[in-house]
A and B are shown apart, each in its own frame.
Chain A
Amino acid sequence: MQLHPYDKLRAIRGNARASATEYIEGIFTDFTELHGDRRYADDPAIVGGLAYLDGTPVTVIAIEKGKDLAERVKRNFGLPKPEGYRKALRLMRQAEKFDRPIICFVDTAGAYCGADAEERGQGLAIAENLVELMAVHVPVITVVFGEGGSGGALALSVANRMLMLEGAVFSVISPEGCASILWKDAGKAAEAAECLRITAEDMAAFGVADEIVRENFADFPSMCAEMRTMLCRHLAELRTMAPDVVREQRYAKYRAIGEIAPIG
């Protein structure tokens, strides 16, 4: 049965789906977490480290919302702070240095909007990641497994390939925010969710998502095995390209996104 876009978002925000750490454990082996941004703090909302993808060392960067309430509080409900994005930046640069592919996992309502985040340059932190993800020569693959919330999600989503779970969404603004700004009524969020076109199918139509992942939470291990196979296939394709071409392909992908009308 086809879910309404807003119901998809509500399902993601609920507790029933897997969290980032569960995907990492299910897909990779020998995951070794690396902490801290070397500037200010370690942000628990972003988990990063090294792991093997079917024998190939990769850098893994994931937004982790947490499973139960206690962990959600600890992880700030998956709302990263500047230090989280800077940890990600540090790991991206390390990946480039050691020629390791970067695999990102995204599920966030957005970047954290607190006063402390503003004081430490939330905008700058995201901007630096966008530039770095355009600069690296190593393959970048992003898996959107939950909510792709605006700039805070984009900071880990500029990739050669974006895979999206069929129940995942990506949006420029939360449907609630959109409804309250445009119609002064957050209660119209479901309507906004439809207008904003946030589903995985929409993302594939826009050229944002490159492949949709079939969900099978009843048999999570085999779902992870399928995702591993999928990641290996994309990585193998990208590894046939020269490093400059990998980067060029990434730029070309985003260069082509958008719809305009030339006058005359």
Chain B
Amino acid sequence: MKLFSRLRRSVRGALAQTASRPADIAPAAPSPLKAAMTCPACGLELQPDVLERLLFVCPCGKHLRISVRRRLLDLCDTDSFRELASEVVSVDPLAFPGYGDKLAKAGKTSDESEGVLCGIGRIGGIDCALFAMEASYMMGSMGSAVGERITRLFEYATERRLPVIGFTASGGARMQEGVLSLMQMAKVSGAVQRHGEAGGLYIAVLTDPTTGGITASFAMEGDIILAEPGALIGFAGRRVVEQTTGSALPKDFQSAEFNLAHGFIDAIVKRTEMRATLEKLLRLNGQKAS
């Protein structure tokens, strides 16, 4: 595997190098959609051009999954987004059976080099640090590289006094990296804590699905926590909860609406209103256009 012929480094080794800086060049455009999609909620067939215009929200209200590149490029002011920490990618530290192949396949299906896209950009002229997790890259699972990218983003934002806006979408820690994945929860939480203590604003936006170790760390650490309609948000998986509880769960269990009713998120925001809502919240929190 080409990926693993590269020199492996521990994070400690990589840290000795200079910290990540935003890329000088414009990010690659999202790859064009080839085929129509059928809405799983209402069965409507949506053509690629329609999907893009509607931000992948079906007229029935169902929020379909949108690629991170499309999401962040659409959210940020034109030509303002620059990638950060994209040079950080995964290795196979445990030589875990099948992991190398899964990484290669995930790169192809998602067109991303890891399960999270980080960068800086402007929303309504306000400078922000942003990350978005890619559900189509191994279910957005967090291994060392995902943890490292997000940590570098928070550290960059702390240095530059930037607010952080993070879109979560993940099945949790990536088990193929064993406990190294689990420890990323601690690492990112430390970076969030330092950003917060320095007065930084962090808005988390929970998208479908946000579960496991992500819910048990930075998804729930935002000063403000938003969610997209219908997003699955929870710690334990539905099947595991049903096995533990021994009874069927209501249909809306762990939905964004369930989380709002139980007091765990601030608001549910439609994707079409996300940009305006974020800009308003940034301004209400004293952030100004540069």
Spell out A's residues near B (CB within 8 Å): 111-115, 117-124, 126-128, 130-131, 133-135, 150-151, 154-155, 157-158, 170-173, 178, 181-182, 195-198, 202-203, 206, 208, 250-251, 254-264
Contacts and interface: CB of A to CB of B under 8 A. Distances in A.
Nearest to B221: A127
Contacts of A157: 186
Contact of B10 (A114, A182, A258): A258
Interface in B187-208: 187, 189-190, 192-194, 196-197
6 contacts: A118-B236, A131-B189, A151-B217, A255-B11, A261-B3, A261-B90
A126 B235 contact: yes
B135 interface: no
Contact of B94 (A122, A195, A208, A264): A195
Contacts of B184: 257-258
Contact of B179 (A118, A172, A250, A256): A172
Nearest to B245: A115
A130 B185 contact: yes
Q: Which 5 A-B residue pairings sit nearest by Cβ, starting from the closest? A: A258-B144, A123-B215, A113-B236, A130-B189, A123-B235
Interface in B154-195: 173, 175, 177-187, 189-190, 192-194
A250 B194 CA distance: 12
A118 B264 CA distance: 10
A115 to B, nearest CB: 5
A155 B216 CA distance: 9
Interface stretch (B36-44, B54-62, B145-153): B145-153
A172 B17 CA distance: 29
A131 B17 contact: no
B144 A131 contact: no
B6 A261 contact: yes
Given A196-B175, A260-B9, A151 B185 contact: yes
Contacts of B217: 126-127, 130, 151
Contacts of A202: 178-179
B219 A254 contact: no
Contact of A118 (B91, B93, B178, B234): B234
Given A121-B263, A123-B234, 12 more contacts: A117-B236, A118-B234, A120-B262, A128-B221, A135-B193, A151-B185, A172-B175, A196-B178, A206-B179, A257-B183, A257-B184, A259-B9
B194 A251 contact: yes
B175 A178 contact: yes
Contacts of B15: 255-256
Interface string B53-78: 00000000000000000000000000
A120 B7 CA distance: 45
Contacts of B94: 195-197
B264 A172 contact: no
A116 to B, nearest CB: 8
Contacts of A172: 173, 175, 177-179, 181-182, 213
Name the residue among B9, B88, B175 with the largest chain A CB count within 10 angstroms.
Answer: B175
A178 B219 CA distance: 23
B131 interface: no
Contacts of B8: 259, 261
A44 to B, nearest CB: 17
Contacts of B192: 131
B241 interface: yes
B290 interface: no
B189 A258 contact: no
B187 A257 contact: yes
B81 interface: no
Nearest to B148: A260
Contacts of B212: 151
A209 to B, nearest CB: 10
A119 B8 CA distance: 42
A36 to B, nearest CB: 20
A119 B94 CA distance: 35
B193 A134 contact: yes
B251 interface: no
A139 to B, nearest CB: 16
Nearest to B254: A118
Given A127-B219, A261-B6, A262-B88, A197 B186 contact: no
Contacts of B236: 111, 113, 117-118, 122
Nearest to B8: A261
Contacts of A203: 179
B183 A131 contact: no
A258 to B, nearest CB: 3
A181 B9 contact: no
A178 B215 CA distance: 19
B179 A113 contact: no
A123 B182 CA distance: 14
A206 B186 CA distance: 14
